[in-house]
Structure 1
Amino acid sequence: MRLKRLLTTFSTFALAVPLAVVVTSASPASAHGWITSPPSRQDHCATGRVTGCGGLQYEPQSVEAPKGSRLCSGGSGWRVLDDESKNWPVTRVSNSVTFQWRLTAAHRTSTWDYYVDGALFRRVDQGNTQPPSNVSHTLTGLPSGRHKILAVWNIADTVNAFYNCVDVDVNGTGGGPQEPNPPTPPAECAAAEPRDAAKAYVGGSTVTHKGHAYRAAWWVRGEEPGVSTVWKDLGAC
């Protein structure tokens, strides 16, 4: 009887394991990303140029909400992005500017939409394909003056999109994007050691990587700064 019970238990376990594997593997990976140049509002939060952003400073890639919104937050929990009373830095650009996205997890994409002061200015069709980790689109013929540009990344196989607002001052004279007052390199640039992929770092550790300084939010080993959210970008060195 004992042998029979053991065989029954083993059979039940053997059937359950493949089922668990199937269920786990069926869960799709989430897509995440944000605009780094010209700096979006969440990028300013991530680099620390704008403070009081809450947890957004660690998750600039996570401004996700259902499609159809015209808010910088998309109507998500990151409502600080909709606060026009904050002193959002304005980037001076020409009337032709390239927007650069950093995708930490790409997903099949339908379109990329760019709104200038609420009006659709350009739509880029991705054709329901998966984009690379770095995406760029160039907008030409932008009107002169100060504008808020809302960029929306529409995911093809979910009801959600990712939202980014970029504040620009279009001078129409060429020369590409530039900051009116280039930020001073953070002090960590001089003190931090180059990042070692094989080394473990405790929370608060600082490193340099690809021209930027980063601080670890918690214990980490192997995660790349600029890709993993465990590393806070402190700014360019």
Structure 2
Amino acid sequence: MTLRRRLAVLAAATLAAPLLTVIIPASPASAHGWVTSPPSRQDQCATGVVSNCGSIQYEPQSVEAPKGSRNCSGGSSFTVLDDDNKGWRVTSISSSTTFTWRNTAMHRTLNWQYYVDGNLHQTFTNGNAQPPQIVNHPVTGLPGGRHKILAVWNIYDTAMAFYACVDVNVGGGGPTNPPTNPPPTGNCGAAWSASAVYTGGMVVSHKARKYTARWWTQGEEPGTTGEWGVWQDNGAC
């Protein structure tokens, strides 16, 4: 190859390099939050109550889509959540019931909305702050009978929202309480439970140490999975 030819090839490669950098897509943001009580559709997938859900069973917190949807999937790729004939377990609740979100990334919040059969029923705000890991909303005045409740977490500083559908049968009576297993324990997170399902980003405490789950897990004891295992050791607490 002549010197002129070599210089031409080198120049072409130099010009192509920044173009390659431009077209590489950015990694998706880590995710985020879902309703655990009463158990949402994605929570039922994650805990094995409903099977053959696809990848949502490993990442129930990831139902993220643009604001304004009224679909259980939000219009995301998790379309199995939109299937009303999937065999979702219906939870009996009272007309005043606490809905609990578990969050794995604390985004600043525009508001939280609850739709009953497609109609806006109640809205909660928190001053556009970042929420804690566990958020409880006392939803009141629910109509009797069987309903599909869509819970929406609208993010303050993006065009995105998180979606979760809950199938319920409202029978009246006193309010239900938020779940207490595993209980929150401050900055160290909830106490680890061998029977609980954990997904990426969840924080637990075990034997006076704090751990963060790297991915979906159940029954794997923190402190026994090694440096590259599912549990990241965050030190004493």
Instruction: Normalising by structure 2, report the TM-score.
Output: 0.66
Does structure 1 retain, via aligned residues, the 8 Å contact 2:199–2:214?
no
Q: Aligned pair 1:92/2:78, yes or no?
A: no
Does structure 2 retain, via aligned residues, the 8 Å contact 1:46–1:232?
no
Alpha-carbon distance in 2 for matches of 1:117, 1:126: 25
Provide closer, same or farther for how the CA distance between residues 233 and 159 of structure 1 changes in structure 2, counting only shifts above 3 A.
farther
Please show how residues 149-188 of structure 1 align to structure 2 within 5 Å.
149-174=149-174, 176=176
Alpha-carbon distance in 2 for matches of 1:143, 1:69: 22
Q: Aligned pair 1:210/2:193, yes or no?
A: yes
Residue 126 of structure 1: CA displacement?
2.2
Match of 2:216 in 1: 230
Moved more, 126-135 or 93-102: 126-135
Alpha-carbon distance in 1 for matches of 2:120, 2:196: 36
Provide closer, same or farther for how the CA distance between residues 29 and 148 of structure 1 changes in structure 2, counting only shifts above 3 A.
same
Residue 142 of structure 1: CA displacement?
0.7
Alpha-carbon distance in 2 for matches of 1:158, 1:141: 31
Match of 1:102 in 2: 102
Does structure 2 retain, via aligned residues, the 8 Å contact 1:94–1:177?
no
Q: Per-residue displacement from partner, 1:18-63 (whole Å, max 9, x unpaired)? A: xxxxxxxxx9964501011000000000000100111111000000
Match of 2:45 in 1: 45
Q: Aligned pair 1:73/2:73, yes or no?
A: yes
Query: 1:91 corresponds to which letter in structure 2?
Result: T
Provide closer, same or farther for how the CA distance between residues 54 and 167 of structure 1 changes in structure 2, counting only shifts above 3 A.
same
Query: Alignment partner of 1:61: what SS?
Result: helix
Residue 85 of structure 1: CA displacement?
1.4
Q: Per-residue displacement from partner, 1:57-108 (whole Å, max 9, x unpaired)? A: 1000000000000000000000000011110000001111000110011110
Query: Alignment partner of 2:46: what SS?
Result: helix
Q: CA RMSD in A?
A: 2.9
Alpha-carbon distance in 2 for matches of 1:71, 1:104: 22
Does structure 1 retain, via aligned residues, the 8 Å contact 2:98–2:175?
no
Query: 1:229 corresponds to which letter in structure 2?
Result: W
Instruction: Normalising by structure 1, report the TM-score.
Output: 0.66
Alpha-carbon distance in 2 for matches of 1:120, 1:89: 23
Aligned length: 174
Provide closer, same or farther for how the CA distance between residues 215 and 161 of structure 1 changes in structure 2, counting only shifts above 3 A.
closer
Moved over 4 A (4+): 27-31, 213-217, 222-225
Q: Which runs of 5+ in 2 are unaligned?
A: 1-26, 179-190, 201-208, 221-237
Residue 137 of structure 1: CA displacement?
0.2
Query: Alignment partner of 1:129: what SS?
Result: coil
Q: Which runs of 5+ in 1 are unaligned?
A: 1-26, 179-207
Q: Per-residue displacement from partner, 1:158-193 (whole Å, max 9, x unpaired)? A: 110000000000001226279xxxxxxxxxxxxxxx
Alpha-carbon distance in 2 for matches of 1:155, 1:30: 14
